[in-house]
Amino acid sequence: MKSQNYTSLTRKELLSVKKLFRLFQDRNGTIDPHEVLLSMQTLKLNEKSPIIYELFSEFDTPENSKNRLEYDDFVEILNQKLSDKESDKAIARMYEVFLGQSQGENLTFENIKKVVEDVGDNMTDEQIKRLLERATQNGKDMTFDEFYSLLLKKSTV
């Protein structure tokens, strides 16, 4: 299957990935990507959402089927695919996702909180505030350059 440019995923597509994962998770919070793919094919979701189908297909490995895949691991791997750290364009697209529909040019607490809630992360308000305090000069809002630097530091904050 031809590799897609994952940086083009919309917030809606990211939410669909999360919902699909949660739909198929077992009591331990894990999935078998192969089961997800079979179900997507049966429901013709592979035709309606080819990018999401391809994302899950890349996780369909013997290792993941045997050990099953936890959501946090899935998100970590997905983030690696979504963020080509060498690509200014990819980072700019991620910044736009965080900005959402806001009128400002800098990321605010509200922008970050919205994305955190949308993807189901359990980051607290206090953690978001600390992130802004550590990653920005003014401690309140994040410029694109600060966002870029933060991503390249590999989550040192």
Q: Which residue has the higher pLDDT, 37 or 87?
A: 37
Kind plus residue range of the DSSP H or E element containing 82: helix 71-82
Number of neighbouring beta carbons within 10 Å of residue 1: 8
Give, in order, the Cα–Cα distances in Å from 140 to each of 94, 95, 113, 156.
19, 16, 13, 18
0.85 exceeded by the pTM? no
CA–CA distance, 60 with 94 (Å, rounded to integer): 26
Residues of the chain within CATH 1.10.238.10 domain(s) are 88-152
Q: What angle do CA 149, 3, 114 make, to 5 degrees?
A: 45
The mean pLDDT value for 99-103 works out to 78
> Could you read off the pLDDT of 46-98 as tens digits, one per residue?
777 776 777 778 788 887 777 788 877 777 776 666 554 446 677 777 788 88
Q: What's the CATH code, domain 88-152?
A: 1.10.238.10
- On average, the pLDDT of the chain sits at 77
Give me 94's structure tokens: 């991620």
The rounded percent of the chain whose pLDDT value lies above 70 is: 77
Residue 133 has pLDDT above 90, yes or no: yes
Cβ-contact 40, 53 below 8 angstroms: yes
